């Protein structure tokens, strides 16, 4: 029965960590964006995120955060969440699920520990600013 379930491949939809100045924190902080660089609207978008890894020889894991968006239009971006500096040293995992024409798409994106930094940036499509892209 499981073998009969087919989940299509996610294409032209990815995550990007972008550093922006926050007036609230009075410093630069990292935000994760969902980038829909496809020609299709994404429906019933759900993102579940957490961070995990070893810090100072001790295993650490954050609680799960859930984000839901009723729709993400074609060729657009949505701000998902703020990444606190303390979790940048951990693996940051984002489980993405959405629908296009009643077909479910699913993909896990992992920003490896310490991979989100100013030296690893490239131009993010649609946003046209520097960021760390996870495809």
> Exposure of 30 by Cβ count < 10 A (0-12 exposed, 13-18 middle, 19+ buried)?
buried
Each residue of 81-118: pLDDT tens digit?
999 999 999 999 999 999 999 999 999 999 999 999 99
**What's the domain range around 75?**
2-134
CA distance 107 to 135: 10
pLDDT of residue 74: 98
Q: How many domains is the chain partitioned into structurally?
A: 1
Q: How far apart are CA 134 and CA 84, in angstroms?
A: 18
* pLDDT, tens digit, 9 for 90 and up, residues 23-46: 998 999 999 999 999 999 999 999
Q: What is the mean pLDDT of the chain?
A: 95
| CATH code of the domain in which 91 resides | 2.60.40
């Amino acid at each position: 029965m499981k073998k009969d379930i087919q989940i299509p491949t996610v294409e032209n939809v990815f995550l990007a960590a972008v550093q922006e100045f926050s007036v609230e924190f009075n410093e630069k902080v990292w935000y994760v964006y969902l980038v829909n660089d496809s020609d299709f609207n994404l429906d019933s978008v759900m993102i579940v995120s957490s961070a995990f890894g070893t810090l100072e020889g001790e295993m650490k894991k954050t609680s799960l955060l859930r984000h839901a968006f009723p729709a993400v239009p074609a060729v657009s971006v949505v701000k998902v969440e703020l990444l606190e500096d303390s979790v940048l040293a951990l693996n940051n995992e984002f489980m993405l699920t959405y629908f296009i024409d009643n077909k479910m798409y699913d993909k896990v994106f992992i920003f490896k520990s310490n991979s989100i930094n100013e030296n690893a940036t490239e131009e993010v499509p649609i946003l046209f600013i520097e960021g760390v892209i996870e495809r």
